Amino acid sequence: MRKHRVVVTGIGVVTPIGIGKDLFWSALRARKVGVRPITRFDASAYNSRIAGEVVDFDPTDFVDAKRLRWTERYAQFSIAAARLAMDDARYHVNGDGNDVGVYIGSALGGLAYAEAQSEEFRTKGIEVVRPLLAISVFGGSSVSNVAIAFGLCGPNVANANSCASGTVAVGQAFRAVASGEARAALAGGVEAPLAPLIFGAFTVINAMSRRNDDPAAASRPFDAQRDGFVMAEGAGMLVLERYEDAARRDAPIYAEVKGFGLSNDAYHMSAPRPDGSQVARAMQLALDDAGIAPGDVDCINAHGSSTPLGDRTELEAYGHVFGSRSPDVAVCATKGQHGHALGATGAWEIAVSLLGMQDSILPGAVNLRSTDSKRTINCSANERSLEQRTVLSNSSGFGGINAALVLQRST
């Protein structure tokens, strides 16, 4: 069924540590942390009061005046990341977007805007509710707005597969381009979840860090002192296209997408299956799809959410896949710097993998001091030089959804 090799030629990110791939990458290497006390609303009553906010985002830099009136933060993030990715890829549709697709994942879609409008409705009545609400609350508003902005009439698919949704979207786009269903695709994840009720719902279940007095040290993937994830907002988009098309137009090729795997724990809505078997299965499915042996993986870009159970489970999964070699496989975990933007984070981490492969650099896990797992992990707090030909990028989320992608430096 696979007719084409698929490569990534463009990266676009909107993150708490930088907008655009260059600022994002330099911030990671400089160990910049984008976690700070929440300013978007009054969180004083919550047990977690910190987040990764995108503080320097100006939608007018990316969205024309007409579309600006009909979009809110979630859709604006989508368009911004898509524009950055297309500019980076030097990709121009030129009026022929019939077979260019859009695949975007988001855990919560436009719910934050709906929450704000709900408060307006409750206090002032229906006459003040903006017409924009009706076209903003569904997850598909992201792919629809991107399609309209760039004239992309190919397959448009939005998914809501929790914190794995960005990785799922890239996997779906990979399959579409590989099979010939689409000539090229924009794919990634978008999240704008920082609203009182949505944020508060995660504090109620004690999922997020309470290290409010030290925000920069709050997100601690794999560290023994981790106490929960740090919610963030933003977007990440990639341009995927056929290798022959990218080569023909001399496009920048970051890497080839080689395989995709997807599984479900079928265990619990908010807790991972403790043995990590289905996380491992998603990883193995991606490797099998790529025709690559575990021994050929140079680096794992971890989900590394900084939750006590999640990180421990992920290490168990590594043991299933890599066996005795597990302690030696390099692990990249960057949520300590940019936080966890739910459905968008998988796309950020794929971007980290691509940029790390390009520069032979593995960013440090800035808040890692010591682990509490019985399994050894090859993850460092400091940046390392590492030649990376093959990278396995993982994502997992509520509902037990697990996704993995295999990336390989193109030759």
As annotated, the active-site residues are: 163, 303, 340
- Pairwise CA distance, residues 114 & 268, whole Å: 28
Per the CB < 8 A criterion, the answer to whether 407 and 357 are in contact is yes
Burial 62-79, CB ≥16 within 10 A → b, else e: bbeeebeebbbbbbbbbb
Q: Give 6's contacts (C-beta < 8 A, 6+ positions apart).
A: 174, 177, 178, 240, 241, 242, 243, 256, 257
- Pairwise CA distance, residues 346 & 311, whole Å: 15
β-pairing verdict for 36-37 and 50-51 = antiparallel
Per the CB < 8 A criterion, the answer to whether 410 and 256 are in contact is yes
Angle, helices 345-359 vs 21-29, to 10°: value is: 70
Give how far the C-alpha of residue 9 lies from the chain's centroid of Cα atoms, to the nearest Å.
17
Per the CB < 8 A criterion, the answer to whether 358 and 34 are in contact is no
Q: How many CA atoms lie within 13 A of 368 on its CB side?
A: 26
Per the CB < 8 A criterion, the answer to whether 253 and 354 are in contact is no
Burial 363-388, CB ≥16 within 10 A → b, else e: bbbbbbeebebeeebbbbeebbeeeb
Closest CA to 106 of 205, 229, 188: 188
The dihedral formed by the CA atoms of 213, 214, 215 and 221, expressed in degrees to the nearest 10: -130
Phi, psi (rounded to 5 degrees) for 183? -80, -35
